């Protein structure tokens, strides 16, 4: 994983998950290091984080090490991205998503 590229994306864990999604708009990427599409999604998430600025928090959670959150939201394939607003899931995306798709959903939620 190249964390220097993904500088605006926070790493989540089962321990920090609930607190991280509790308030505001949060986009969470459920991923794993061995997943090629997940590695493609990473740089796109950094672009999304830069594009939306303070409107949303962008986070990643590695499903190999954090199974609790993934099972709670029935994540069966990765990458799965879930968009939360004030702790509640409002959209779920499976597979690699474009910057435009994700920023549009976030911008629509923030109005």
Provide the domain limits for residue 47.
10-109
Give me the number of domains the chain comprises. 1
User: Residue 16 catalytic?
Assistant: no
pLDDT digits (tens, 9 = 90+) for 16-73: 999 999 999 999 999 999 999 999 999 999 999 999 999 999 999 999 999 999 999 9
Q: Catalytic one among 10, 14, 16, 35?
A: 35
Judge whether 93 lies within some domain: yes
Catalytic one among 38, 49, 69, 75?
38
In-domain check, residue 3: no
| Residue 25 main-chain phi, psi, to 5 deg | -100, 125
In this structure, is residue 4 part of a structural domain? no
* Phi, psi for 75 (deg, rounded to 5): -75, 110
CATH number at residue 56: 3.40.30.10
CA 34 to chain centre: 17
Annotation marks residue 38 as catalytic: yes
Q: Is residue 50 part of a domain?
A: yes
Q: Residue 2: inside a domain, yes or no?
A: no
What are 82-92's pLDDT values in tens digits?
Answer: 999 999 999 99
């Amino acid at each position: 994983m190249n964390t220097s590229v993904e500088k605006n994306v926070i790493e989540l864990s089962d321990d920090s998950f609930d607190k991280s999604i509790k308030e505001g708009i949060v986009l969470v990427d459920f991923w794993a290091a061995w997943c090629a599409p997940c590695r493609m999604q990473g740089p796109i998430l950094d672009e999304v984080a830069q594009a939306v600025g303070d409107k949303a928090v962008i986070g990643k959670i590695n499903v190999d090490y954090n199974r609790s959150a993934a099972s709670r939201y029935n994540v069966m394939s990765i990458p799965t991205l879930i968009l939360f607003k004030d702790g509640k899931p409002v959209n779920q995306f499976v597979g690699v998503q474009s910057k435009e798709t994700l920023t549009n959903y976030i911008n629509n939620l923030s109005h």
